[in-house]
Structure 1
């Protein structure tokens, strides 16, 4: 294909893959697309390890990183962790009682404390933490830095451009996209509510053309509900220069999800990708479970603000649930395309099928409009 994004990065197809899994990043880039490694919750040591591995396996293909650069944050650094003090008693007991009554075995106290202490550090998103990650990343041949939390700071844009690195940011509304353009982003990623993870409330069909018009002539990638060629065709028809995909890679053999979660995804429908605050404290589309449902029941407490709710779920719930393999409580961020995810495949096959279906959609449209 020939368009702005393919020319910008020297890639064959404008399929941008967001993933926390280095294997997916490498395989997408090797298949002609562009892999982007999500670095949330990674330590500096882990960032170095992941990027070194990618460099050794990607065969010179371009790739990028996705980082969290918050403008507002709560700094937990330097605080000794104590669940009884960090969490309000009502929310803490709500989670503990829920899992106890379901027969989910608790973790040994020392292990639970160690996990939660580590989580406090991992969720300690500060500008200093982000800057350290970016410094490490710039030691590697990355071609793109994406900010998942607002517009990137001018200093970052300037430094990245000086090194030939492109900069982009996610947007869930035209006003956000305009801020990204003013900040100097090279393109904008318009993400509709169908997307997995943190997302807004406007559908891709409505959002994409609005952002395309708002930031023209800046290129736009369409994200949210994209996992097939027909959806890619829709994005291109609405003015996008490519697509941003995340959930579709979870069904591949290379993805990071456990076999139990993958099996649950294969049984799920699109309606099972629910928008909830129960796992992070912010609206996050994730796989429906008894945990997500419990917070919507009458008498349930209010969810905690981010990142406390995420630490509560990961520390008091997720590790217990995944270790015991209790299917009803398993959840994972995933978009509404989960309804199309019915069996395991490979990253390369996903790219091939998307491009084949894109060609079919184009031929069908040509036949209709002449």
Structure 2
């Protein structure tokens, strides 16, 4: 058999496997909270294997070894971040396995250790809510110096990063202020790394949820995907205008869409525009000690041992609001991404070209992997 014929055959085989993975994309799976949530949102064995943790989380799973993969974004004092289960991990190596780390007990997850959060801005806009800030990432198992990457409900195989990761919120208008009712967020993205984070949840009822929560700009970080004015040492809740869609900007009166170059071309050295930071108002500052009082006794993970789980998800071994204004005096989280470091957050491996490509490369060689991704 010729090399061309063999590569064609392998390409067809891999495409078939990928098609099996994408039969029901994660973003197309809807589960009512809490009664409709299954033990795992992605129980199937695909190219990347099976789901690492579980989604049915409760008091029996709430501890610092939890493998809960159901996350929340509600308010300044009530949100979660995706991060590794084991200490000293790299986001690029664990993006399919991240677990939820939250600021409030009662979610069945791990809690963000005391002192980890070093400045947070919560923003409510007409089409999305987001939380952006600064963090000692080593306290949530991200290796020191890791520039990180993007987590979202898509990925190359549409199974999401993490696989089966679900996000819920009570922060949208359709909740009518009912804090006990949670909607599943279909479109979201969470950048982690460089001791910074941004997590945006787009209103499921909004007409442009997929546009505001784009997932194709995984190499250019928070400054471009979630422009903000977060400041170190400041904890505030704000109202704001919508940002421009990530990757979309105006130049000389013309609306332009930026095309992120593939990783094969190397580090992104220049970006042709600076994102517009949306105007904010009614920013109310809070005392972080009071805001996250429930985290006072939570300490960083000291063991890398992973718990085993039962069919119920149990480990078998042992809102902020108000009025007022605050001035903006910082360019915000992610703003340090200059032309020489624009690839921060995911330059090593992005959700759209990561684990699946790696598996294909390992099985069939670099040449086939390039054809597969073309």
When the two structures are superposed, what TM-score results if normalisation uses the length of structure 1? 0.24
Q: Which has the higher strand share?
A: 2
Q: Which has the higher helix share?
A: 1
Higher relative contact order (CA 8 A, sep 6+): 2
